[in-house]
Every structure is written in C-alpha cells, then in structure tokens.
Structure 1
Amino acid sequence: MKIPVGLLLVVLAMLMLSGCVGATPDGQPGPQDIFEKSRNSDRAPSAFHDDVQRESCGEITLAQGEQIPAEAIDCMDAATGERKAELAVLSPTTEGDPIITYYRTSADTSGIEMFSNGEYDKFGSRDWWHAMCPKSMTRLVREGCPK
C-alpha cells in the first residue's frame, strides 16, 4: 500500500508538534501542564496543600508585559472576605522562565494569600514564596504586597 508523500509529511509534522506540547525546548513544562505540576509540587509550603475546595477565578497564562485581566481581578475582589476562591497566574521572568502565583481568598480573612512558585526560574532561587497581603486584589495588583 502506497502512502501519498503529502499525507506522510502532514502526519510527521503532527507527531513532531505533539511531542512539543508538554515541554519547551529547554525542558520546561509547557503552559498546558505547568499548573498541574505546580499544584502537586512537594516543594510547596504545607499551607498550600490544604485540600480546601475553592471557587476558581481562572488559570491565566500571561505573555511578557501583559496584566491580569480585569474579570479575574473582579472575581477575586468579590470573593475577598466572603468565600474561598483562587486565581492561578503564570507570568514570565525577564528571561522568559515561568513563575506561577496562586492568589487565594477566604471568608475569614480580609486580604489575599499568595503562593509563588519559582521552581522553574533557572536564574532565581527556585523556591516558593508565601505571603498574606492585607489588600484587595485590585490594590495588590497596583501596589504590590509588603514582604
């Protein structure tokens, strides 16, 4: 049975591309699975793995210079002090390495809890950072969180 050359080339191209979906050329996880790998990291602070059900305000992948969308900020602001919610944001470092930050709210706190995963930052500490920010998500995005 003869396979047309054009069909063979298309199939080979699809196979090559499918191998690149899970990782970048430098071995970093791709955006499709980095949130899952990060959520299951054994290097995360113990408070991160609290197994609490949270409303999702999204999993967002930002490009260099992009900001968190207003809808996600509004979702977190509405949840602050009212209910448990989480927003996961992947943003690149200057060199392009991914940093994943989880913003969380709770009914019993008036601020935003942050967990930042720097494990994939080849030029950074490769550690997690945890902080409680006594601000709304809107203020946190504008002013940052005191360390």
Structure 2
Amino acid sequence: MTTKAPAVGMGLIVLALLVVIGWSMWTPPPLRFLTRADLPTCPPVSAKQLAAAPQAAGGCLFGERARREGAELVVTSMTDEGDEVRTYYRAVPRTAGLEVWSDTSGDRYGGGWEHQVCPEAVSLAALGTCRTA
C-alpha cells in the first residue's frame, strides 16, 4: 500500500516557492504613479494595434481635447518570452510633449518602473529627446 500524501505535500511546497519567488520579483508601482492626476483615458491598445493604426491613438493624445483636458493612453506589448509590458503615455494639459511611465515589472528577466518626460514629443513615433523624471 502506497500513499500519495508526500507527493501532494511536495507539490504544495514547490507551488508556494514559485509564488514567493514570483511575488518577490514583482515591483509595485511607485507612489508618484499611484497619485498621478486623473486624465481622460484613450481606448487602450496593444502595440500591434498601435503599429497598424497609430492615428487614432495619436489623435487622442495630441488633439485639441488633450491640449485642454489632458489624456492618457495605455499601450500593452509583449516581450519575446511573452511577458506583458505596459506603457502609459500622458498628455498633461498646458504642458508640451508627453509624460511616459513604463511598467516592465511583469518581465521575468528584470524590469521595474521608469518615468520619463518627453517635451519634444509630437507623436508616438516621434518622442524626441526624453529625460528621466
């Protein structure tokens, strides 16, 4: 007579270790990101959608309404390994260019949060010179 209890117990230990390791690699959003001003949101897009039709997203970020009220566009892309990366493009009212937050904390090979300001941005394809904020 054999028992499966040790195998189940070992499986739970392995699962718990994977959860702890995964959790320890996750980087929470910075407080400055969590407390950023609310802006009208553009419909979210994937990087593939953006490449196919950049006009709609660009119109949302660089249009007259965005100049008056601001706008935020979230673009989701995937790494070669299939990890999700999100970039938040923000048009802040009465401010030239874009503010860009990149969340690569989902990348299993490293990552975290990056915050840049791109005052020369005239489109998503032409951000100009950006600096760390």
* TM-score of the pair, normalised by structure 2: 0.64
Contact 2:121 2:127 in 1 (8 A): no
- 1:105 to 1:143, Cα distance in 2 relative to 1, 3 A: closer
Stretch of structure 1 that moved more, 94-103 or 111-120: 94-103
Residue deviations 1:3-47 (CA, integer Å, cap 9, x gap) = xxxxxxxxxxxxxxxxxxxxxxxx9xxxxxxxxxxxxx9722222
Residue 46 of structure 2, aligned match among 61, 65, 72 = 61
How far is 1:101 from its partner? 0.3
Contact 2:120 2:128 in 1 (8 A): no
Question: What residue ranges of structure 2 are gaps of 5+ in the alignment?
Answer: 1-18, 20-25
Q: Which has the larger radius of gyration?
A: 2
CA distance in 2, matches of 1:85, 1:92: 23
Q: Which residue of 2 aligns with 1:35?
A: none
Residue 72 of structure 1, aligned match among 31, 37, 57 = 57
Q: Which residue of 2 aligns with 1:128?
A: 113
Q: Which residue of 1 aligns with 2:130?
A: 146
- 1:108 to 1:46, Cα distance in 2 relative to 1, 3 A: farther
- 1:102 to 1:146, Cα distance in 2 relative to 1, 3 A: same
Q: How many residues end up aligned between the 2 structures? A: 105
Q: Which residue of 1 aligns with 2:13?
A: none
Contact 1:80 1:110 in 2 (8 A): no
Among the aligned pairs, what percent are the same residue?
A: 29
Question: What residue ranges of structure 1 are gaps of 5+ in the alignment?
Answer: 1-26, 28-40
Contact 1:114 1:132 in 2 (8 A): yes
Q: Which residue of 1 aligns with 2:76?
A: 90
* TM-score of the pair, normalised by structure 1: 0.59
- Counterpart mapping for 1:103-114 below 5 A: 103-114=89-100
- 1:118 to 1:42, Cα distance in 2 relative to 1, 3 A: closer
- Counterpart mapping for 1:7-86 below 5 A: 43-50=28-35, 52-63=37-48, 67=51, 69-78=54-63, 79-86=65-72
Structure 2 counterpart SS, 1:141: coil
Q: Cα RMSD (Å) of the superposition?
A: 2.8
